[in-house]
Amino acid sequence: MSKKKTCIGCGIVLQDENMSQEGYTSNIDNDICNRCFRMKNYGDYQIVTRSNEEYINILRDVNKTKDLVLYIVDALNFEKDITSIRQYLSNRMILVINKRDVLPKSVKDEKLISYFQNLNLDFADIIIISCHKNYHLDELMNMINKYKKSKKVYVVGNTNVGKSSLINKLIKNYSEKEGELTISPMPSTTLNKISIKLNDDLTIIDTPGLVNRGNIVNYVDSDHVKKINPKKEIKPKTYQIKKNQCLVIGDLVRVDYVEGDKNSFTVFASNDLKVKRYNSNRCQFLKNLSKIPYEVAYHQDLVIDGLGFIKIVSKAKLDIYVDINVNVYTRNSII
């Protein structure tokens, strides 16, 4: 039986029978599905929901190989527990921290790298890159050649971290071809494994992203998703803040300062999200959302998964108002 034809953008099997099903194309001779065509040409995004089971099966297959894995994370929004990928994969891995360009230049690479090194992660190496700025891609390529054990290298990570963007850049920079993988600010753009032969010695394999259910992008509309995804360097916003004041970020999150001395909060989130300070007692914004009490220690970040983080200088008791499904947690400050 001949192998079914798949979309060059997202990897889904192409079909010309049912418009409402994945993989639809009006002409089966096309190389691309309608969904990818619309995303690429009109920026018209269709949200697809994916179960992590399918993704985990892909990881299990990768685990059966000895191939090198690039584990991609987003510099602004890396996951709480980076080691959790190890429950599925025992392959040799390089940790690739992408989207360096969105973090302010004042944040030094060495600081970020040492933050990850101190977590004692079991990675062969760690590198910070930016696909958009072509930053450290030659260095990454050298690392791939140094650590790969076979001709195949897998690219894995959560949705939206820039796996397909990275592969497109590698194709552009290191082969005669142009990258045709579909990229978008929406989660679950890539739907299946896609193999791309860069040269006789190296085939890179894109994978769908693991959906992080705690990420705020799952609970907002597409206009908000675009706003939340920073397009350029973040300008951190610092507020001197006293007890009984609050910060409202976009129309998505509210942070009330309930208990503590005079403090300083610095918001690291997309410049498109407005931040405002109010008196808590007189502010009614977002009070309809669920309230979660938090305590932060000296020099910690309060992370709002998918949105960014707030660096808090002194210890504080806070009330956070946000969609109940969004993961909020504290960590030692990365800045």
Ligand X SMILES: Nc1nc2c(ncn2[C@@H]2O[C@H](COP(=O)(O)OP(=O)(O)OP(=O)(O)O)[C@@H](O)[C@H]2O)c(=O)[nH]1
Judged by CB, which is closer to Mg ion: 50, or 197? 50
- Per CB under 6 A, the list member of 5, 40, 92, 132 interacting with ligand X is 132
263 binds, among Mg ion, ligand X, none (CB under 5 to 8 A by kind): none
Three-state DSSP state, 313: coil
- Binding to ligand X by residue 263, rule CB under 6 A? no
Q: Are 185 and 165 in contact (CB under 8 A)?
A: no
Q: Are 211 and 317 in contact (CB under 8 A)?
A: no
Where along the sequence are the contacts to Mg ion (CB under 5 A)? 163-164, 189-190
- Per CB under 6 A, the list member of 91, 98, 330, 333 interacting with ligand X is 98
> C-alpha distances in angstroms, 258 versus 233, 290, 291, 317, 319?
31, 16, 12, 5, 7
- Binding to ligand X by residue 253, rule CB under 6 A? no
Applying the rule CB under 6 A, the residues between 169 and 198 that interact with ligand X are 183-185, 187-190
x/- map, 54-93, ligand X, by CB under 6 A: ----------------------------------------
**Applying CB under 6 A, which part among 53-61, 158-166, 268-276, 281-289 lies near ligand X?**
158-166
Count of Cβ atoms closer than 10 Å to residue 19 Cβ: 10
- Binding to ligand X by residue 214, rule CB under 6 A? no
The 8-class DSSP code of residue 297 comes to -
Judged by CB, which is closer to ligand X: 131, or 248? 131
x/- map, 99-118, ligand X, by CB under 6 A: x-xx----------------
Separation of alpha carbons 140 and 145, rounded Å? 9
Number of residues that bind ligand X (CB under 6 A): 24
The helix (H) or strand (E) run that includes residue 54 is: helix 52-63
- Per CB under 6 A, the list member of 58, 131, 205, 286 interacting with ligand X is 131
- Per CB under 6 A, the list member of 208, 214, 250, 306 interacting with ligand X is 208
- Min. distance of Cβ 153 from ligand X in angstroms? 15
188 binds, among ligand X, Mg ion, none (CB under 5 to 8 A by kind): ligand X
**Applying CB under 6 A, which part among 35-43, 130-138, 237-245, 309-317 lies near ligand X?**
130-138
CA atoms within 13 A on the CB side of 115: 20
Q: How far is CA 213 from the centre of its chain?
A: 12
> C-alpha distances in angstroms, 117 versus 7, 112, 114?
39, 9, 5
Among positive and negative, which fits the CA dihedral 315, 234, 228, 287? positive
b/e code 97-129 from CB counts within 10 Å (16+ = b): bbbbbbbeeeeeeeebeebbeebeeebeebbbb
Question: What residues line the site for ligand X (CB under 6 A)?
Answer: 98-99, 101-102, 130-132, 159-165, 183-185, 187-190, 208-209, 229
